[in-house]
Structures are given as C-alpha cells and as structure tokens.
Amino acid sequence: MSDEQLVLAAVDGHVATLTLNRPKALNAISPALIETLIAHLDRFEADEQIRALVLTGSDRAFAAGADIKAMSTASASEMLLGRSIERWTRLAACRKPIIAAVSGYAFGGGCELAMMCDIIIASESAQFSQPEVNLGVMPGAGGTQRLTRAIGPQRAMEMVLTGNPITAQEALQYGLVNRIFPIERYLAEAQALAATIAEKAPIAVMLAKEAIRAASETTLREGLALELRNFYLLFDTEDQKEGMRAFIEKRKPIFKGR
C-alpha cells in the first residue's frame, strides 16, 4: 500500500473525514501513517471550505496504538532524536474542530490520538485502553496527561497501571466520550455533529476551541484573559456583524469565515 493510502480523505460540504487505513495492522500508527495524516491536516487546515474534520478508523479498530514493530528495537536516543511522537501533536495543534469517530480498539496511541481530538463519538463496541505497561513502556503521546484530565487521576491510574481496557459505556460514564451509537451509525452521527459545527461562524469556533483548550493547559487567570481577548477579537470579524444582524432581522446568518 502506498503511503497516500494510509489515511483516506473524503469531503462532504464543509466537513472532511480522514480515515486511518492500515486494516491488516489494526491501524497501528507508523511514522508513515502520521506523516500522511499531517499532510491531510495541513491541506484541510489551509482550505477555507473545510470547517470541521472527522477522524476515524475501521469498525474493528480506530487504532491499536503506536506501531510496535516499528519501534521494538529502537534505542532511547533513536526515539529521542527521531522525535517521532512529537510529530503526532500536529493533530492536537489543529485549529479547526476535530471529532474522533471511534469503534473497536482505541489502544495506546490510538486512545491518545482520539484524546487529541475535541469530541469523541464512539460505537457501542469501542474499547479504550492504555496497555503500554504490558510492553515494558508507558504512554508517551498524552496518555498520562490528557487521560487524567479527562477522567480524573484515580481512573487514569487504574487504566494506565493495569493496562485493562474500558468499554464504550464506561468511557461514556467517565466522561471520556461524548456519545455512543450503534456501530451502523457512529460515523454518520460524528459527521452530522461536524456538519452542525461547520454551520457556525468558523473564526468564532476556532477561537472558542482555543479558549477551551486553554482551560486545561493554563491557569484560570490566563485562561480567562485569553477567553476575553478572543471574545473581543471576534468583533473585528464580518461574521460577528452578520450573525448579530441576522438575529435582529430574524433570518439565518450566512457565515463566510471572515
């Protein structure tokens, strides 16, 4: 399979869906797969027509983690100098909203990739796990940090120290996923949610995402200052004028992303 096919891209209106496509390896995240994903993200982030993204895998596996075969013989200095995991953070740095549509295994780096997205929609058969301790390592792409913020230290401790998976129902109860749907519907529901977000004013969505991210990355004082700055900044956009005018004129706004 050529590298381009490792992640498939499809566009419907203002929504781009990226599908991890290494089915034989349960979408294990290889360096080539990450680079292909980054190329798509760069392209869609620069494309004004795209206002929201969906990241998905197959019904059987969202992704079964970092590619174990690609790193099994690596030394610490090779891992460090290769900065392979740092490349993954391109996903977390995307300014447009991303919904993860997760089914089957979201293990190790797969769970970490899903947590870099903004919203997680799961199928009833999704399973989330940080099983790295079974391999003699630990999570390295946010599994100790994002998971702890998402579900709290006790639950994160249990998941990371035992490596045991949790079900979609448990993930919902813990607040790791937003919603669960039957396997036939989870992807369409994630795309519908992305389409709903894509109807909103794009710069407002982008700055709101940035502010929500700040809530877990900065202090309350810094987060509130960023929120206020972003709120004021939006009054310089055409979409703010259009949105408020449309409300007053009792019609639907037409947002242009400017």
3-class SS letters over 134-151: HHCCCCCCCCCCHHHHHH
Give the nearest distance from C-beta 105 to ligand CAA in angstroms: 4
Binding marks (x or -) toward ligand CAA, 113..152, rule CB under 6 A?
------------------xx--x---xxx-x---------
CB of 166 closer than 8 Å to CB of 129: yes
The span of 93-101, 103-111, 113-121, 203-211 binding ligand CAA (CB under 6 A) equals: 103-111
Length of the chain as a residue count: 258
Q: Which of 16, 28, 52, 66 is catalytic?
A: 66
Amino acid 1 reads: M
Shortest Cβ 84–ligand CAA spacing (Å) = 9
Q: Which is nearer to ligand CAA, 26 or 171 (CB)?
A: 26
- Triad 202, 208, 210: Cα angle to 5°: 105
Distance CA 128, CA 180 (A): 13
The residue within the footprint of ligand CAA, chosen from 57, 65, 97, 202 (CB under 6 A), is 65
* Residue keyed to tokens 């792409």: 141
Q: Which residue in the set 66, 159, 190, 201 belongs to the binding site for ligand CAA (CB under 6 A)?
A: 66
Q: Report, in Å, the least distance between residue 35 CB and ligand CAA.
A: 16
CA distance 75 to 85: 14
Task: Tell me if 57 contacts ligand CAA by CB under 6 A.
Answer: no
Comparison of 97 and 165: residue with beta carbon closer to ligand CAA:
165
Runs of H (alpha helix) within the chain: 31-46, 68-71, 76-82, 84-92, 109-116, 146-151, 153-162, 168-174, 186-198, 202-217, 220-233, 238-248
Identity of the residue, 97 or 109, whose beta carbon is nearer to ligand CAA in the bound complex: 109
Active site (catalytic) residues: 66, 109, 112, 132
- The site for ligand CAA (CB under 6 A) is made up of 25-26, 28, 64-69, 85, 105, 107-109, 112, 131-132, 135, 139-141, 143
